Structure 1
Amino acid sequence: FNNKLLNMPHSSFLTFMLLLIQLSVASGGKILVFPLDGSHWVNMKVIVEELHARGHEITVLRPSDSWYIKEKSPLYTSVTLPCRGGFEENFGVYLSRQLEIRLQIKPGSFWSNIWAHMQMRWVLLDQFFQFHKKVGDVITHMFENEDLMQSLEAAKYDLVLTDPGIGGGAMLARKLQLPLVFNVRWTIQGEAHFLIAPSPLSYIPFTATELTDKMTFPQRLKNVLSYFVGMFILSYMSEPAYKPIVNRFFGPDVDYSTFFLDADIWLMRNDFVFEFPRPTVPNVVYMGGFQCKPSKSLPADLEEFVQSSGDHGIVVMTLGTLVSNLPQDVSEEIAAAFAQLPQKVIWRYVGQKPNNLGNNTLLVKWLPQNNLLGHPKTRVFITHGGTNGVQEAIYHGVPVIGLPLFYDQPDNLSRVKVKGAAVIVDIAMLDRHIFKDALMTVIYNSTFGDNMRTLSKLHRDQPVKPLDQAVFWIEYVIRHKGARHLQTRAHKMSWFVYNSVDVFTALLAAVLLVTIILIAVVRFLWRKIFTGRKMKQQ
């Protein structure tokens, strides 16, 4: 090998050495990950896998009762905190309650529906209040553990990678004085853009309003009111959990909200195929659909079932990871609708087998979602509207029937519906006839498939794959020890200065002063001229 190096031309040798240096820099990164459990870990794990494949050393912090984040993994070294995060327990208790209330909302009963909506909001408020309180306990235990903090400092990490849906990662990065990268769509203070980028409410719909970028006056009024109420509620849910921690470990003069504005790079889990066009800032990198990939072949038994559908094709249904099964009466209606289709159906379902289940329907406890969506025989995807599932449907060009349940799901599906690629069914109104009509509409009206395939082409037509883009910017932060030069000054300004209220006030004062001076001069001249004439005449 040494002889071959010596015999290399000088320019080739230099190129080879530069490549070695580049590889050593790329492979030498030490990354500390503070993730959010549940479905958020599913997409964080995609980034962790890619970073590991490129030679980075990954350490993942997890509570002792972590739900999705395994203690043993070939991808990373885990540090298990000796405290409970309560994620699985929290979502298990509150999701069933929310679903129960959601199914009570029926048309024609105005006051009962208002009461049901109020109950939903209260349950959601209580859920996230308790959730952030638990996360706050985890952060406190972590900071109180001097041995752990000393070991983290001694490890000399290059950056912290976190999901700002919880507050721990941003605080940890500040404590260790490390660069910070977000894998983000939601923060503890709401949708990320509203925190960091200009967001004119005249055409930027606020979270959960299900509005578009084309709003009438009543819709803009609703949007503005929703924004102020929503931001107050988000502050109420999160501030009591995190503000005392900041006061205790960082000082009373530190504003806890600045922790989340200090990230070097925001890896945003959406793009402008899915999202409405809007202003952004230099350190936001869009990686929507980064978890999507070409489909692989199905297991032999599943492929045989799919092929048995003939020209009719298949329907795929799953409601994600948080909802394993629906109430039995709802499941019976869905099964009855499926039984009337000529298509074959693959349904991820856990629970008692529906009595109305047809011979064309296969129940599975788990399904290879990406591989099924990429199969040429898939005609429609029935989903709750989670971001991962919707983006995979867009990637593979499969039209959607949405059964939104809670959180961001109605908003996600409304965006696809506006683009003509989805039909939304209210689960509280669902019966076999309504559901069958929705299925027949999407399967046999080609415009839904055409529109989704157009979105797929737009999404795929990028110079760099979203995952490669994400990894590049993580490595960029490692190489340059941050990316502070991409941060705008906006978040360091007060509302007063950001909106130039002081400037407009000064200009207004100047205009008033000039006006007053002009009036005084005119009055003086008027008196001088006309009063002088009168005196001469007398």
Structure 2
Amino acid sequence: MPGKWIWVLLLLQLSCYFSSGSCGKVLVWPMEYSHWINMKVILDELILRGHELTVVRPSSAIFVDSNETSSMKFETFPSSFNTDEMIDIISGIINLWTYELPRTTCLAYSPLLENLFRKFSDTWLNICKEAALNKELMSKLRKARFDVMIADAIGPCGRPTTLMETASRAEIWLIRSYWDLEFPRPTLPNFDFVGGLHCRPAKPLPKEMEDFVQSSGDNGVVVFSLGSMVVNLTDETANAIASALAQIPQKIIWRFEGKKPDTLGPNTRLYKWLPQNDLLGHPKTKAFITHGGANGVYEAIHHGVPMVGIPLFGEQRDNIAHMVAKGAAVQLDIRTLSSKDLLRALETVISNPLYKKNAMWLSTIHHDQPMKPLDRAVFWIEFVMRHKGAKHLRPLAHNLTWYQYHSLDVIGFLLACVATVMFLVTKCCLLAYQTVFKMGKKTKRE
């Protein structure tokens, strides 16, 4: 594994390991939190299509639950961390990134962010080593002879390697994004965009929640969630948010864990868990306050809901910036957030019809695809199985040495040619000069 972690927006890395048959035996190396939510959607679909899945997880896994009723087979290996310690490590990294990392200049931001990534990378590197050095686990996996491996972002390695080497072994990259969120850019043939593969038509809400939503009348509701990785806000921030929410006519459904804010209004209900997709698909939902995680952003796009973005860490700021540029969101800063800012942002996205119009335009683009994102993701996984890989789609740049990749051999040859020409020209000039000089001397003597 590389010495440092590089945050990647890629959800899945598909790589042919072990055997190359097409019997449908799939090995899965997942990540946690929202990554697992997306991964599990694909895995459930593969199971429905008759594939046999084995998920490798450390004993410290948080969301990847081996006790969950499923047709997946889980291989759990012992880890030096327990689940609570893993949660503390990740929460600490998130808090540092969200509240303490300076954002004034790149010179201040980049070195500290690199240190933060290194800490996160070291944690996962340790887990990878524990898996690779577990002889019983490795023996069991080799005997199983899997047809394909699905790894989330960066898969495990049994020997020291680099990020470039790991990435170059991927047959297909499935990107958790699409052109409703992204701006146009060239891509390689072994890349496909499957953003929103987890989105579904809205299902009925639980009765108590539905009654609360219906009580909003024509004003509707606002859905508020900062994702599964953020457990607590500071008291000051929570009270500022609650104060702003209490001043709008809409009812608020807020996913929140922690101390109940003192300024919480009667129009706001707190929940530890939300059926977010179903709420965003409800006809009374007017706006979505989000941290900008890919899952929530795509659910909002899927259902055409304008957003107020409060990005915290990772790619969230980039996601919200894209939504702002496309006229479907207003962005706020968690560090300077005030009640007045949030109130103004909510009034803007709810009262200005342009935000709803732009959100519905993105929703139309998202739905107007020849294949659903989930079907496309499954197709490419099965494609890799059927064709024993997808090497015909992989760029040959992966086969080049580092000096060939950077064209140093070509540059060296051209420099040598230029140097040779300059040497020859210089020699010719010197020879001509010497000839003329000698002839001049000879003339003078005569």
| TM-score bucket of the superposed structures, by smaller chain | 0.7 to 0.9
Q: How does 1:520-531 map to 2 (within 5 A)?
A: 520-521=427-428, 524=431
Once the 2 structures are TM-superposed, how far is the Cα of residue 455 of structure 1 from its aligned partner?
1.7
**Contact 2:59–2:82 (CA<8 Å) still a contact in 1?**
no
Q: Which residue of 2 aligns with 1:384?
A: 291
Q: Which residue of 1 aligns with 2:342?
A: 435
The answer to whether structure 1 residue 162 and structure 2 residue 151 are counterparts is: yes
Q: How does 1:412-423 map to 2 (within 5 A)?
A: 412-423=319-330
Once the 2 structures are TM-superposed, how far is the Cα of residue 293 of structure 1 from its aligned partner?
1.9
Q: 1:487 to 1:437 in 2, by over 3 A?
A: same
Once the 2 structures are TM-superposed, how far is the Cα of residue 468 of structure 1 from its aligned partner?
0.7
Q: Relative contact order (C-alpha < 8 Å, sep 6+): which is higher? A: 2
The CA deviation string for residues 5-58 of structure 1, in whole angstroms up to 9 with x for no partner, is xxxxxxxxxxxxxxxxxxxxx994010111112221111111111111111111
> Which among 49, 60, 64 is matched to residue 65 of structure 1?
60
Q: How does 1:258-297 map to 2 (within 5 A)?
A: 258-297=165-204
Q: Which residue of 2 aligns with 1:513?
A: 420
Give the match's secondary structure for 1:66: coil
Q: Distance in 2 between matches of 1:101 and 1:35?
A: 23
Q: Distance in 2 between matches of 1:264 and 1:119?
A: 34
Q: Which residue of 1 aligns with 2:139?
A: 150
Once the 2 structures are TM-superposed, how far is the Cα of residue 461 of structure 1 from its aligned partner?
1.7
The answer to whether structure 1 residue 395 and structure 2 residue 395 are counterparts is: no
Once the 2 structures are TM-superposed, how far is the Cα of residue 481 of structure 1 from its aligned partner?
1.6
Q: Distance in 1 between matches of 2:96 and 2:428?
A: 75
The CA deviation string for residues 267-297 of structure 1, in whole angstroms up to 9 with x for no partner, is 1111233223333212112111111122222
Q: How does 1:439-450 map to 2 (within 5 A)?
A: 439-450=346-357
**Contact 1:309–1:344 (CA<8 Å) still a contact in 2?**
yes
Q: Distance in 2 between matches of 1:136 and 1:86?
A: 16
The answer to whether structure 1 residue 51 and structure 2 residue 21 are counterparts is: no
Q: How does 1:284-323 map to 2 (within 5 A)?
A: 284-323=191-230
Q: 1:28 to 1:402 in 2, by over 3 A?
A: same
Unaligned runs of 5+ in 1: 1-25, 106-111, 176-245, 248-253
Q: Distance in 1 between matches of 2:143 and 2:336?
A: 57
Q: Which residue of 1 aligns with 2:4?
A: none
Give the match's secondary structure for 1:351: coil
Q: Which residue of 2 aligns with 1:75?
A: 71
Q: Distance in 2 between matches of 1:441 and 1:281?
A: 39
Give the match's secondary structure for 2:38: helix
Once the 2 structures are TM-superposed, how far is the Cα of residue 259 of structure 1 from its aligned partner?
2.5
Once the 2 structures are TM-superposed, how far is the Cα of residue 310 of structure 1 from its aligned partner?
2.2
**Contact 1:101–1:120 (CA<8 Å) still a contact in 2?**
no
> Which among 404, 408, 425 is matched to residue 497 of structure 1?
404
The share of aligned pairs that are identical, in percent, is: 43
**Contact 1:101–1:119 (CA<8 Å) still a contact in 2?**
no
CA RMSD of aligned residues (A): 3.1
Give the match's secondary structure for 2:243: helix
Matched to 1:272, the amino acid is W
Q: TM-score, normalised by structure 1?
A: 0.71
The CA deviation string for residues 94-133 of structure 1, in whole angstroms up to 9 with x for no partner, is 535753785579xxxxxx9869x969974x6565444433
> Which among 475, 482, 497 is matched to residue 389 of structure 2?
482
Give the match's secondary structure for 2:361: helix
Give the match's secondary structure for 1:366: coil
Q: Which residue of 1 aligns with 2:318?
A: 411
Matched to 1:353, the amino acid is K
Matched to 1:78, the amino acid is F
Q: 1:525 to 1:27 in 2, by over 3 A?
A: closer
Deviates more, 1:79-88 or 1:95-104: 95-104
**Contact 1:63–1:84 (CA<8 Å) still a contact in 2?**
no
Once the 2 structures are TM-superposed, how far is the Cα of residue 150 of structure 1 from its aligned partner?
2.0
Q: Which residue of 2 aligns with 1:473?
A: 380
The answer to whether structure 1 residue 135 and structure 2 residue 135 are counterparts is: no
Deviates more, 1:82-91 or 1:31-40: 82-91
Give the match's secondary structure for 2:300: helix
Q: 1:346 to 1:40 in 2, by over 3 A?
A: same
Q: Distance in 2 between matches of 1:27 and 1:493?
A: 30
**Contact 1:94–1:127 (CA<8 Å) still a contact in 2?**
no
Once the 2 structures are TM-superposed, how far is the Cα of residue 365 of structure 1 from its aligned partner?
1.7
Q: 1:513 to 1:320 in 2, by over 3 A?
A: same
Matched to 1:428, the amino acid is R
Q: 1:54 to 1:85 in 2, by over 3 A?
A: farther
Q: Distance in 2 between matches of 1:431 and 1:349?
A: 18
Q: 1:138 to 1:99 in 2, by over 3 A?
A: closer
Q: 1:101 to 1:62 in 2, by over 3 A?
A: closer
Once the 2 structures are TM-superposed, how far is the Cα of residue 430 of structure 1 from its aligned partner?
1.7
Matched to 2:409, the amino acid is D
Q: Distance in 2 between matches of 1:53 and 1:499?
A: 45
Give the match's secondary structure for 1:157: coil
**Contact 2:188–2:395 (CA<8 Å) still a contact in 1?**
yes
Q: Distance in 1 between matches of 2:118 and 2:432?
A: 69
**Contact 1:394–1:453 (CA<8 Å) still a contact in 2?**
yes
Q: Distance in 1 between matches of 2:411 and 2:125?
A: 41
Q: Distance in 2 between matches of 1:338 and 1:256?
A: 45
**Contact 1:316–1:378 (CA<8 Å) still a contact in 2?**
yes
Once the 2 structures are TM-superposed, how far is the Cα of residue 87 of structure 1 from its aligned partner?
6.1
The structure whose residues are more often helix, as a share, is 1
Once the 2 structures are TM-superposed, how far is the Cα of residue 370 of structure 1 from its aligned partner?
0.6
The CA deviation string for residues 486-512 of structure 1, in whole angstroms up to 9 with x for no partner, is 111213323432232321332233234
Q: 1:526 to 1:29 in 2, by over 3 A?
A: same
**Contact 1:28–1:55 (CA<8 Å) still a contact in 2?**
no
Deviates more, 1:144-153 or 1:364-373: 144-153
Give the match's secondary structure for 1:507: helix
Once the 2 structures are TM-superposed, how far is the Cα of residue 484 of structure 1 from its aligned partner?
1.6
Q: Which residue of 2 aligns with 1:35?
A: 30
Q: 1:59 to 1:443 in 2, by over 3 A?
A: same
Give the match's secondary structure for 1:161: strand
Q: TM-score, normalised by structure 2?
A: 0.85
